[in-house]
Amino acid sequence: MKKLLLALVLLASATLFAQSPFDGTWMAKLDTVKLPTKPEQYSLNKNMYECLTCVPKVAAKADGTDQKVTGHPYYDTIAVNVVNASSVEIIEKKDGKVMYTDKESVAADGKTLNEKFTDTTGTQPVSGEATYTRVKPGEAGSHAVSGSWRIEKYNTISSNGLTVRYQGTADGLKMSDLNGNNYDAKFDGKEYPINGDPGHTMVTLKRIGKDTIEETSKRDGKVVGVSRMTVSSDGKSIHVDYSDKQHGTTMAYTMEKQS
């Protein structure tokens, strides 16, 4: 009888955790996003392009050809094509495969920058558009994209870049998205791989409470980001606070349950 009772208790406990409040498909809502306030800094001058806030910094000839860069998990070459006096196109590749395409255009008054991007790091492309506001101009004689820019809003992002599915397990959480990324991690402090991620990111999960989980992302043993996810009391949304440890920025957003 004692063994049977213990088995029933363990089964009930496993069922409780498996029926996690995180279970389901969730979509981030762009109108809830609180973006980083720290500006991004670029320089395009005398046929040289620099991303001064990239980690590590990027410096490459702006002649439209693939230029080798090191230290970046998602690309090993960058090609910067100057389209005209107000626009550039940037293509990043890894092992010859296009990973990210970015088209940037500065308004005639020089105060705003429009970015159209396509992320092809996953099994299907994620496209979107964002608006930036100028914080500081570039040096005299430099291209219009030079200077400091603060992101104001994401105008659009394709749904496959906003959707994620979670499933609770007896001692952890499973995650999958529409672009081939997934993990099956436990709340044991160990590192688990994000399968399908070309950046080879590892995650560590920590249960903060019944409705809150902390997810720490690492590369090469170094923490690159921390997400704290909390399910609302009605179970219809998840609030996410994200801290980018590489760039020293934070952002927050809400995901709504789809199913």
0.85 cut: is pTM over it?
yes
HSE toward the beta carbon, residue 176, CA cutoff 13 A: 10
pLDDT in the model for residue 19: 72
pLDDT in the model for residue 7: 40
Taking only the tens place, the pLDDT of each residue in 227-250 is 999 999 999 999 999 999 999 999
| Long-range CB pairs of 239-248, under 8 A, 24+ apart, other chains included | 240/28, 244/36, 246/55, 247/36, 247/38, 247/53, 247/55, 248/38
List residues bridging with 256 in a β-sheet: 27, 237
For residue 98, is it left (φ>0), alpha (ψ between -120 and 50) or beta? Answer: beta
Taking only the tens place, the pLDDT of each residue in 193-202 is 999 999 999 9
Per-residue pLDDT of the chain in tens (259 residues, 90 and over written 9): 434 333 433 333 333 345 799 999 999 999 999 999 999 999 999 999 999 999 999 999 999 999 999 999 999 999 999 999 999 999 999 999 999 999 999 999 999 999 999 999 999 999 999 999 999 999 999 999 999 999 999 999 999 999 999 999 989 999 999 999 999 999 999 999 999 999 999 999 999 988 999 999 999 999 999 999 999 999 999 999 999 999 999 999 999 999 9
Domains of the chain: 14-34+162-257 (2.40.128.20), 40-159 (2.40.128)
Tokens representing residue 52 in the block:
């001064």
